[in-house]
Amino acid sequence: MSMFENLLLAISPRRAAERERHRAIAMHYRASRLGHRNESIRPDGTDADMASRDRRRIAFYIRDMIRNTPMATSIQQVITANVIGDGIIPKINVSTTIPAAARKRIKALGLEMIEEHCDTVDIDKAGLQNLYGLQATAMNTVVDAGEVLIRRHRPMLNRITIPLQLEILEPDYIDSTRWGLTAGGNEIREGIEYDAESGDRVAYWLFNQHPGGEWRPGSNPLISERVPAEDIRHIFRVDRAGQTRGISWYTPIAEKLLHADDAEDAHLMRQKIAACFVAFHHMNLDGKTRPELGGTLSPGTIMPVSSDEDMTFADPPEVGDYSEFQKGVLRSAAKGVGITYEALTGDLTDVNFSSARIGRLEMERNVTGWQWRMLMPMMLRPIGAWIIDAWAEVLPELWEMPGAVKISWVPPYRIIVDPAREFDALNTAVRSGFQSRQGVVRQLGVDPERLLEEQLQDKDEADRLGLPFDSDPRADPSRKLSSFTNEGYKDE
């Protein structure tokens, strides 16, 4: 033991024992001493919210990067395009306990309601986007800021189908300066009010306008109001237990992306310098310039040079191989946000079918995870409940059958890398009984019931016009079943 350790043992045996215990642990786990070799690692014991307390400043930096850095823009576009696509489609589901005639009528009215309200700009408080555009805007905000708010408004029925409109709010609207206890004992942390007993969210304190927006006459951007939590959906990706707010998805790669963009600018400047052609004219003793030079050399110029004159040329730096360095940085950035390098850059030079499919499958796991573990429980299912509540105000019979009518969601169409191979595999899985036909149809982003209705319409229209198609077993004798007729299947 050292002299300091002997002294510590004499003064405080407990501290000396703790020091020896920590040293023994460090001897078994080298990871406990990483901070001694790398000052950028900070071992903190903070919880999820304390560790991400700078989320607002991070979001400001990331938004500027998205505005000015092509690859940062591409990351946001790729994630939103794969998670939302053309839109996650709502579907009306009616319980089988409802009589068939009533069930069919409610489904027809629900489809009409979705087409007239959700598929139009009536659903948007700003009147700019339909439901699917709002989904994309919300997902963009989740990616760059880490979280997004969706506020429900219940306007009067005035030229809209149901009394429901949605508003997408950036997290900047949350008054993070609100802390403390309310008169009723509820706790407010970072502008979110929690119930004193259950700890559930009961309200959000939101600014009347964006605090970074232009001044509006008659309003104060520094005043916040209490909005009940039942009218707010707060969407963010939960990465740690106990997390109550989100943080930008760019956080682990922001510095790397910024350095890569700076390196690209430096490489571009180097190429400009390398492309320069400079000649030095060493004049004779009289110091007279050559008028035929004119400051530049023209192609085909023939210039006599005397014995006491000379022409030398600059040796610009070589450009070098930058592509491999750039690929390495972008691969790391793509991996850090859960997408593939090929999706980020569009570079398919080193890709074959097998490698593309394996990479795509890995990315698909992330995409479906974001859809089913984040968007479905935090945004889509609550919005579905809002739609049903608003619909019940114009269709009172829904109140008489609580829980019988619900909305499910169909994810966007899944990109098929090789349709010939993958459709054949899906067909085999259905025919062998390993997958249901409806399940495969949902994987492709199509509503099975709507598909059946369209197929029935196609069949009836083809029969009316007398058009045979090989997709119809009746047109192919080798595929016709003995129990199948124009009227359908017979009961045997």
pLDDT in tens, 59-113: 999 999 999 988 999 999 999 999 999 999 998 989 888 888 988 899 889 989 9
Burial of 37: CB neighbours in 10 Å, binned 0-12, 13-18, 19+: exposed
Q: What is the model's pLDDT at position 489?
A: 43
Q: What is the pLDDT of residue 123?
A: 95
Please report which confidence band the pLDDT of residue 290 belongs to, taking 50, 70 and 90 as the band edges.
low
What pLDDT is recorded for position 222? 80
CA distances to 169, 271, 383, 427 from 246, rounded to whole Å, are 14, 41, 20, 41
Q: Where are the extended beta strands (E) located within 161-231?
A: 165-169, 180-181, 187-189, 192-194, 201-207, 224-228
φ, ψ of residue 15 in degrees (nearest 5): -65, -35
Give Cα separations from 146 to 60, 164, 202, 237, 467 (angstroms): 11, 26, 21, 7, 54
pTM of the model: 0.79
Write down the pLDDT at residue 491: 45
Cα(205)–Cα(270) distance, rounded to whole angstroms?
Answer: 51
Task: Convert the pLDDT of each residue in 380-393 to its tens digit.
Answer: 999 999 999 999 99
Structure tokens of 157?
A: 């029925």
Average pLDDT, the chain: 83
Are the beta carbons of 91 and 409 closer than 8 angstroms? yes
Gap between the Cα atoms of 118 and 382, Å rounded:
15
Q: What is the pLDDT of residues 314-344, one digit of tens each?
A: 676 665 666 777 888 888 999 999 999 999 9
